[in-house]
Structure 1
């Protein structure tokens, strides 16, 4: 099994340049992120709360809470604020063929799908997101200094409506990340360095521009990263995954040139460039193969 990230071509290029974003909880697109229902007992002293939270995927026995208990919204909001100053989260998926994620996260099929080696040390401590029908209830006494701090993975639950994502997460302290600016919502952007060896393949979307395909090809042609195209299949709501480059450098094997991929290689020197030019200019399927859907 691998981990996957659906991303815009721009983000894909940044990852190939060796950096990847770890996002703070308050910058997520789901306001329920890390916001369970917190029960705040009357006899709990605020000084006793311990918000030093582990990042690993650990088992933790939560104190049962009666369903009629009144929970504290302020405590939940304060926790998200506190965590957003401490941690960044990398959100990945275990699913490689999601139509919804191609549309939502990969720039409406103009982006890429990045496949990662799940066994690489970069993903140490990753954990699956559980999808539940009702928000998790947590007794704030579980945070008291007399007990072991709660792992962050216990807080990471999502509504069943998100289950199509099959999400896998990696959490790191912002102390190990580098701030490089802010996003369009003025949230700080924190990144970590990621080695190319952690990347297994890049897949172009149905609408990835030729310009971006060429830029990505230039970055990976001398690497062991595989290159593919997720083209619309001739039937059903599914993709046809066409291999463009196998997981070997260009010096060992030429890419697969066809009417759909020929434009990527038009600027290459030697036999590869000549084959690409001939295919692009002479093949009877070139025009229809490159119609944008």
Structure 2
């Protein structure tokens, strides 16, 4: 399965250079209603209290990579592709290992988001046993708890439908690290090596994937215009940093033998199109 990641230009260089992708805690996502579609019943406390308890535990025990099915969504370019100045990277989830049910509690082939009009009701019983099972792979797994996991991690409001999101979820409950601090920067989880990176406001966890898992690169409308401007106006006073970044990206694309595209407007259809520009990137 080929899925896509919208990123800023500088982040695209880093991802391709390091051949890594980063997972995050769900509490750091931009949807305030993450993990609130649990449909809890049998409550001894107010719904908000129970929901927050379940939400916090899910967030701290699992990390998530968010990908999408399309490289041509104008809203996605605006929101996650640095207002069309960024890049979309195509990922082969099978080659990346993201379809391995032994490694991921929710692998790519199970991780399609379901978008709902209303919040589910009376689906999962709220009790201490269900709460403490979160993170325990012997108690909570896809085979036995598919419904619970879907409601917690794969259900969102219909307003997010445009994202066409697919998630890969990793259980990190075995590591000795707190959300705000960890004395270690590298962890082995289920035989995989994960690096913990403490950003100014949150931690992320990166994993290296095979070079062959990277499929293609698509330049946004604005990033391609910048490329053409640099090519056509060589006599202008141009910021050399921009030239260097474009050359860095193209060198990585060439070294990894990736296909490369630009986005273009289809004004008749009010849509974006991809056009291959290998001839530009791979020119001698």
CA distance in 2, matches of 1:220, 1:232: 24
Counterparts in 2 of 1:103 and 1:214: CA distance versus 1, 3 Å: same
Q: Secondary structure at the match of 2:256?
A: coil
Runs of 4+ in 1 over 6 A off after TM superposition: 144-147
Moved more, 166-175 or 113-122: 113-122
CA distance in 2, matches of 1:7, 1:145: 35
Shift of 1:144: 7.2
Shift of 1:21: 1.2
Tell me the residue number matched to 2:249. 216
In proportion to residue count, which structure has more helix?
2
**Is 2:269 aligned against 1:236?**
yes
CA distance in 2, matches of 1:206, 1:111: 9
Shift of 1:87: 1.3
Does the 8 A contact of 2:43 with 2:50 survive in 1? no
Does the 8 A contact of 1:20 with 1:194 survive in 2? yes
Shift of 1:234: 5.3
Tell me the residue number matched to 1:111. 86
Q: Secondary structure at the match of 2:32?
A: coil
Tell me the residue number matched to 2:23. 22
CA distance in 2, matches of 1:225, 1:8: 18
Q: Structure 2 regions of 5+ residues with no counterpart? A: 100-106, 176-188, 228-241
Greater RCO (CA < 8 Å, at least 6 residues apart)? 2
Does the 8 A contact of 2:66 with 2:165 survive in 1? yes
Give CA deviations for 1:227-279 in whole Å, capped at 9, x if unaligned.
Answer: 1111223543222322122xxxxxxxxxx13xxxxxx68xxxxx82xxxxxxx
Does the 8 A contact of 1:40 with 1:71 survive in 2? no
Give CA deviations for 1:55-110 in whole Å, capped at 9, x if unaligned.
Answer: xxxxxxxxxxxxxxx96211211222222222110001112211100110000000
| Number of aligned positions between the proteins | 222
Shift of 1:119: 2.5
Does the 8 A contact of 1:115 with 1:202 survive in 2? yes
Largest Rg, 1 or 2: 1
Tell me the residue number matched to 1:188. 203
CA distance in 1, matches of 2:159, 2:113: 13
Shift of 1:189: 2.2
**Is 2:83 aligned against 1:82?**
no
Tell me the residue number matched to 1:129. 113
CA distance in 1, matches of 2:150, 2:66: 13
CA distance in 2, matches of 1:140, 1:242: 51
Counterparts in 2 of 1:85 and 1:148: CA distance versus 1, 3 Å: closer
Counterparts in 2 of 1:225 and 1:23: CA distance versus 1, 3 Å: same
Matches within 5 A, 1:118-267: 118-124=93-99, 125-126=107-108, 127-137=111-121, 138-141=124-127, 143=130, 149=140, 150-151=145-146, 152-155=149-152, 156-174=154-172, 175=175, 176=189, 177-183=194-200, 186-208=201-223, 209-210=226-227, 211=242, 212-233=245-266, 235-245=268-278, 256-257=279-280
Q: With structure 1 as the length reference, what TM-score do the two structures score?
A: 0.68
Moved more, 204-213 or 192-201: 204-213
Q: Structure 1 regions of 5+ residues with no counterpart? A: 43-69, 246-255, 258-263, 266-270, 273-293
